[in-house]
Amino acid sequence: MGPCVSLRNSLPSVSALLLAATITLTGCGGGGISTPAAPVAVTVTGNNQVRLGTTAQLTAAVTNTSNTAVNWQVNGVTGGAAATGTISTTGLYTPPAAIPSPNTVTITAVSQASASSSGSMTEAILNPIPTVTTATIAGLGPNYTVTVTGVGFVSGAQVQLQGQTLAATVASPTQLTCTANLTLAQGTTSIPVSVINPDPGTATSSPANAQVTIQAPVTAAARLLDQTTFGPTLTDIQHVESVGITGYLNEQFAAQPTTLALIAATPPTACTNNLVPCAQSEWWQATLTAPDQLRQRVAFALAEMFVISTNSVNSRAVVAFQNTLVNDAFGNFATIMKDVTLSPGMGAYLDMLNSNKPVTVNGAPQIANENYARELMQLFTMGLYLLNADGTPKLDSTGNPIPAYTQDQVQAFARAYTGWTYATATGGTSTSFPNRAANYTMPMAAVEANHDTAAKVLLNGTTLPAGQTSAQDLDGALANIFAHPNVGPFVCRQLIQHLVASDPSPAYVARVSAVFANNGSNVRGDMKAVITAILTDKEARAADTDATAPGGHLREPVLWLTNMIRGLGFTNNDAVAGNDVVANASYNTLGNFTSTLSQKPYASGSVFNFFPPGYVIPGTTTNAPEFSLENTATAVLRLSLANTVVFNRITGFAVNLSATSSWGTLAAKPADLVDALAMLFMHGQMSSQMRTTIINHITTLTDPAQRVRVATYLIITSSQYKILH
C-alpha cells in the first residue's frame, strides 16, 4: 500500500492509441518512497497496404525517451528478407517480388533505447495497378488475338474490351495475350482495352487504344487486289491477308503518287518522229510497276471517263493529263473537273482550247464551239437524263426519262468556256489568241478579249451575269454542274463499273452516291471516301465468301495483259538485250498487243471510251460495258495473245515458266500446280469441275514446262478467269 499503487490505478484514463502499448512498471525501490519513470513506447504508423512494385514509408513514433531510433523488422527479421519484403533503416518497406501467402507481413519497429519496447503493424501486400502501354488486336475475325504490353501484369490478369472480360495468358509483367471473339466493322482502326489485375487489391488499368487489324481471308485479299491493282501477285496476296482490307487501303491511300516523266524537249530517238511511243512506254511502265497501284487504277478509271486520245492530242499533253489524274485521284471531284477542264490535253481533244467567243465574220455569224460544253455534261459528269441517287433515271408522269439539260444550256456553257488558249512557257497569259506556241503541260490561260461576256443561263435557274471574266465564268459553270444531283450517281456508278462490277444494284450505287454527297464531314465529292465506300461495300465483298454472288466484270484487254505480266512475274529485259537507249523501250510495244483487241491506252477511237458505260450484251438486259469489245474476232485474238504470253514471246520481256521455275517445280504434282495458279488468278475459287478437268489434262503431259504453259493457258483463256468476279 502506498503511492506505488496509485500509478496503476491511473491507467484506465489513457487514450486508445496507447492501448497496444505495454507499460512496464518499475519496481518500487527500497530505501524510501520514489516516482517510477514512464516506459518507452513505440507506435508504428503508415499505410497498411502496399502494392507490388511500390513501397510503403512507415513511421515509428518513440515516446518517453530521448533516443527515438528504432530497428525495423519484417516478420521479426531486422531489415526483412526477400520472401517477405525488406525494410530500410528509415522504415521504407519494399514488398517482395511476388505476393506471399498469406499476403500479410508484420512490420515491427523496436526501440533502440529499450529493446523490449516495440510497435507493430500488419501490412497487406496487393497486386499492382496495371498500366497498358500498347495493344494490338489482329485476326481474321470473329476470333482475334489481343496482345497487350505495359507494366504490372500478374497471373490471373484479364483483358476488358468491347464489354467482355476475358482471361489472359500473362507472359511477363510487361506482356499478356488473349483470344477474343469480337464484332468489328471493316474500317475499325482501334478500340479501347483495359487490363484488370486480380485480388488481392484488384484494379483496372486506364484504357488504351488497341490498334485493330482485321486480317483478310485469302480469297478476300486476292479479290481486293484484283479490284485495286493491275494484277495481283502471290506476295501481294499474302501481304493483304496480313494487314487486312482497311490496313491495305490505308497503305495505298498514303503511298506516294507515281507520275510519268514529261517527254523531253528533244525526245529520245525512238520518238523523234512520233511521240506516241514515249507516252506509251511511260504509261505501261508506271502502270505495271508503281507501288501506288490503287491510285493508278483509279486514274485509269478516270482516264476512261474523262477520255482524251493520242489519236488527235499531242502525247506531251497526254502525259501531263495522266499526271493530273494521278495527282487528283484521291482528292475532290470538283478539283478533278477543274484540272481536267483546264488541261491542254482535254482542251485540244474537245476544242475548248482556242474556243473563241462567237463573232461575225464577213456578215456571217458564228456560234461558240459546243464540243466540250456538251461532252462535259453528257459523258463526264451528268449523263443525258435526270437521275435518282441510285443511278436509275427519273421518269416523268408518262414514264419517260427527263433530259438533264437543253441545247440552249449547252450553247450557254459553250460561251462560258470561251477565251482559253495555251499558257505561256511560264504558265502565264498569252498576249495573242490563239497562242501559237503550244504549252502542252501547264493549265490553259485565258485571253479576256476573246471571252464571251454575255450572260449565260445555266442549270437549275443559275445565271452567270454579264461582264464576268473567263475565270469567273469557268468557276461558276463548273460549280453549277458539280452541284447538280446527277453528278454523284453518274460518276459513282461508273467508278463502280471500272473497279468492281459492270451492273451494280441501284442500292449499291445509292450507298456510294450518298458518300459522294456527304463524306460524313459535310464534304461533297471526297474521292477517298467514295473509293473506300465502293471497295468495302457488301456488294463488292460478297464474292469473298460466295463464289456464286452476282457481279464482277469482264477484264478489258489492257487489264488482262497487265494481270499476266504482273501475276506471272514478267521482267523487262531491255537492258539485258541492249535495246534502244530509251530505257524500257519495250514497254511501248505492249500497246501493240492490246490494240488488236481494240484497246490501246490513251488511244480510244472516240470520246466514249473503248466501251460505253451503258452497253448491254445483245439479246440480254445485262449491262456489261467491257463486252462491247468482246466479239468473235477479239475473243480469238485474246486466245492468240494468251499463247504468246505462255510461250514467253512478249517482246522485250521475259517470264520463267520453265521446269526449274517455281511453277515448274510444282508441276510434278499437277494438283499443286493448278491450285497455285488458281490462287493467283482465281482467288482460290476455281470450281472443282474446272480444276479436275485441267488437272486431268496436264497429267497426260510429261514435260513440266509444258504442264505449266498449258495449265496457265487454260486458266487465263477461260471465261471463268476472264470475268473478274
**Min CB(284)–another protein separation in Å:** 23
Q: Which is nearer to another protein, 9 or 620 (CB)?
A: 620
**Min CB(306)–another protein separation in Å:** 16
Decide: residue 478, CB within 10 A, 0-12 exposed, 13-18 middle, 19+ buried.
buried
Q: How far is CA 108 from the centre of its chain?
A: 62
Q: Which is nearer to another protein, 554 or 565 (CB)?
A: 554
3-state secondary structure 581-637: CCCCHHHHHHHHHHHCCCCCCCCCCCCCCCCCCCCECCCCCCECHHHHHCCHHHHHH
Q: Which is nearer to another protein, 39 or 347 (CB)?
A: 347
**Min CB(431)–another protein separation in Å:** 19
Which parts of 32-91 interact with another protein (CB under 8 A)? none
**Min CB(648)–another protein separation in Å:** 10
For residue 426, the 8-state DSSP code is T
Q: Which is nearer to another protein, 153 or 593 (CB)?
A: 593
Q: Which is nearer to another protein, 36 or 403 (CB)?
A: 403
Instruction: Tell me the window of 133-141, 255-263, 359-367, 480-488 that interacts with another protein (CB under 8 A).
Output: 359-367
Cα(719)–Cα(681) distance, rounded to whole angstroms? 12
- φ and ψ at 26, to 5 degrees? -80, 145
Q: Which is nearer to another protein, 4 or 701 (CB)?
A: 701
Given a contact cutoff of 8 angstroms between Cβ atoms, the answer to whether 344 and 320 are in contact is yes
Instruction: Tell me the window of 234-242, 634-642, 655-663, 673-681 that interacts with another protein (CB under 8 A).
Output: 634-642
Q: Does 628 bind another protein (CB under 8 A)?
A: yes
Residue 693 contacts by C-beta under 8 Å, 6 or more apart in sequence? none
Residue 426 contacts by C-beta under 8 Å, 6 or more apart in sequence? none
SS3 (DSSP) at 413: helix
Instruction: Tell me the window of 28-36, 421-429, 584-592, 624-632 that interacts with another protein (CB under 8 A).
Output: 624-632
Q: Which is nearer to another protein, 96 or 434 (CB)?
A: 434
Q: Which is nearer to another protein, 183 or 689 (CB)?
A: 689
DSSP letter string, 59-115: EEEEESSS---EEEEETTEETEETTTEEE-TT-EEE--SS--SSSEEEEEEEESS-T
Which parts of 364-383 interact with another protein (CB under 8 A)? 364-371, 374, 378
Q: Which residues of 406-420 are buried (b: 16+ CB within 10 A; e: fewer)?
A: eeebbbbbbbbbbbb
**Min CB(638)–another protein separation in Å:** 8
Beta strands 49-51 and 118-126, pairing class? parallel
**Min CB(361)–another protein separation in Å:** 5
Residues 637-666, mask of contacts with another protein (x by CB under 8 A): x-xx--xx--x-------------------
> Which amino acid would we find at residue 29?
G
Which parts of 462-521 interact with another protein (CB under 8 A)? 502
Q: Which is nearer to another protein, 544 or 630 (CB)?
A: 630
Cα(99)–Cα(200) distance, rounded to whole angstroms? 9
Cα(611)–Cα(619) distance, rounded to whole angstroms? 18
Cell numbers standing for residue 28: 518500487
> Which residue, 451, 460, 453, is CA-closest to 479?
460
Instruction: Tell me the window of 251-259, 279-287, 571-579, 623-631 that interacts with another protein (CB under 8 A).
Output: 623-631
Instruction: Tell me the window of 325-333, 575-583, 622-630, 668-676 that interacts with another protein (CB under 8 A).
Output: 622-630
Cell numbers standing for residue 138: 489482329
Given a contact cutoff of 8 angstroms between Cβ atoms, the answer to whether 652 and 703 are in contact is no
In this chain, which of 384, 442, 457, 676 binds another protein, going by CB under 8 A? 384
**Min CB(486)–another protein separation in Å:** 15
Which parts of 679-718 interact with another protein (CB under 8 A)? 687, 689-690, 693-694, 697, 700-701, 706, 709-710, 713-714, 717-718
Cα–Cα distances in Å, from 92 out to 78, 85, 103? 13, 10, 18
Q: Which is nearer to another protein, 33 or 367 (CB)?
A: 367
# residues near another protein by CB under 8 A:
85
**Min CB(325)–another protein separation in Å:** 23
**Min CB(672)–another protein separation in Å:** 19
Q: Which is nearer to another protein, 386 or 410 (CB)?
A: 410
Cα(74)–Cα(687) distance, rounded to whole angstroms? 74
Q: Which is nearer to another protein, 24 or 643 (CB)?
A: 643
Cell 459523258 identifies what position? 379
Cα(113)–Cα(607) distance, rounded to whole angstroms? 105
**Min CB(141)–another protein separation in Å:** 27
* Helix spans in 500-604 (H): 506-517, 527-536, 538-541, 557-567, 574-577, 590-595
Cα(239)–Cα(215) distance, rounded to whole angstroms? 10
Cα(400)–Cα(519) distance, rounded to whole angstroms? 32
**Min CB(338)–another protein separation in Å:** 22
Q: Which is nearer to another protein, 286 or 642 (CB)?
A: 642
Which parts of 591-610 interact with another protein (CB under 8 A)? 596, 598, 605-608
Q: Which is nearer to another protein, 56 or 590 (CB)?
A: 590
Write down how long the chain is. Answer: 725
Q: Centre a 10 Å sphere on the Cβ of residue 23 and count the other Cβ atoms it contains.
A: 15
Which parts of 535-594 interact with another protein (CB under 8 A)? 548, 550, 552-554
Which parts of 385-414 interact with another protein (CB under 8 A)? 403, 407, 410
**Min CB(627)–another protein separation in Å:** 7
Which parts of 521-540 interact with another protein (CB under 8 A)? none
Cα(628)–Cα(497) distance, rounded to whole angstroms? 14
Beta strands in 445-498 (DSSP E): 445-446, 456-457, 463-464
Q: Which is nearer to another protein, 15 or 620 (CB)?
A: 620
Which parts of 264-323 interact with another protein (CB under 8 A)? 311-312
**Min CB(181)–another protein separation in Å:** 33
Which parts of 413-442 interact with another protein (CB under 8 A)? 418
Which parts of 316-355 interact with another protein (CB under 8 A)? 350-351, 354-355
Instruction: Tell me the window of 166-174, 463-471, 566-574, 611-619 that interacts with another protein (CB under 8 A).
Output: 611-619
**Min CB(725)–another protein separation in Å:** 6
Q: Which is nearer to another protein, 275 or 350 (CB)?
A: 350
> Which residue, 213, 210, 127, is CA-closest to 166?
210
Cell numbers standing for residue 394: 427519273
Based on C-alpha coordinates, what's the Rg of the chain? 40
In this chain, which of 298, 630, 657, 670 binds another protein, going by CB under 8 A? 630
In this chain, which of 402, 483, 577, 633 binds another protein, going by CB under 8 A? 633
Q: Which is nearer to another protein, 36 or 550 (CB)?
A: 550
Cα(235)–Cα(225) distance, rounded to whole angstroms? 11
Q: Which is nearer to another protein, 18 or 359 (CB)?
A: 359
